[in-house]
């Protein structure tokens, strides 16, 4: 069986260098809190307030900085603060939701970049070959945690890169739907 470790991503954002400096001041560098499973990626101790039409949420910034700012939240979060968050792959932000970002030193009006991340599997070329999957392939993943909410996720996009560690990423709504707590494995179904 092709098993993959499933990790739950809490709401977070990625910032461009330009936006980081508007929000935190010129020359500001993020403070690393914890290395993430994907090589080179980390959670920082720094937070930004993401403001929608109905409310706001403080969100952690993941580093390093990226070419474009992107806010990733669950659909429950999106509804609670009043932002539009289409389901998209990371980086595919044209026409996505808008919000305001408030940092300690300044504010940014983000015209697009708010998404609910499409569930996905990061996978190394070696594991992709062993699983028989290719980049951009859509698969399903069966989750049986024994918590009374066994389910199969469809529409899971596979992303292959030598710079990845093999992991599936879902958001908190999806984890709750399957009663996932802590680290669990799923079975990839082609």
Q: What is the binding site for Zn ion (CB under 5 A)?
A: 169
CB of 82 to Zn ion, least distance (A): 26
Whose CB is nearest to Zn ion?
A: 169
Indicate the residue among 19 and 122 with the shorter CB distance to Zn ion.
122
Report the residue number, 44 or 56, with the smaller CB distance to Zn ion. 44
Q: Where are the beta strands (DSSP E) in 10-119?
A: 12-14, 32-35, 42-51, 56-63, 70-72, 87-88, 97-102, 107-117
Helices (H) and strands (E) counted in the chain, each on its own, are: 4, 14
Question: Nearest distance from residue 104's CB to Zn ion, in Å?
Answer: 28
C-alpha angle 54-46-181 in degrees, rounded to nearest 5 = 75
* 88 versus 169: smaller Cβ distance to Zn ion: 169
Least Cβ distance, residue 22 to Zn ion (angstroms): 26
Q: For Zn ion, give the closer residue by CB, 19 or 119.
A: 119
Short-list 91, 96, 89, 20, CA closest to 61: 20
The C-alpha atoms of residue 26 and residue 106 are separated, in whole angstroms, by: 11
Q: Least separation, in Å, of the C-beta of 122 and Zn ion? A: 5
């Amino acid at each position: 069986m092709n098993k993959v470790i499933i990790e739950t991503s809490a709401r977070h954002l990625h910032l461009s260098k330009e936006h980081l400096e508007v929000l935190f001041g010129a020359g500001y560098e993020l403070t690393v809190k914890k290395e993430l499973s994907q090589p080179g990626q980390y959670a920082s101790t720094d937070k930004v307030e993401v403001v929608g039409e109905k409310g706001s949420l403080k969100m952690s910034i993941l580093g390093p900085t990226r070419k474009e700012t992107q806010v990733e939240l669950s659909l429950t979060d999106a509804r609670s603060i009043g932002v539009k968050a289409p389901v998209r792959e990371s980086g595919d932000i044209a026409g996505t939701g808008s919000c305001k970002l408030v940092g300690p030193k300044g504010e940014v009006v983000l015209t697009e970049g708010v998404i609910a991340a499409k569930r996905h599997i990061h996978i190394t070329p070696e594991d992709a070959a062993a699983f028989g999957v290719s980049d951009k392939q859509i698969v399903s993943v069966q989750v049986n945690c024994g918590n009374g909410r066994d389910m199969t996720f469809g529409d899971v996009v596979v992303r292959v890169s030598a710079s990845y560690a093999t992991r599936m990423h879902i958001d908190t709504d999806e984890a709750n739907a399957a009663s996932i707590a802590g680290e669990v494995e799923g079975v990839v179904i082609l």
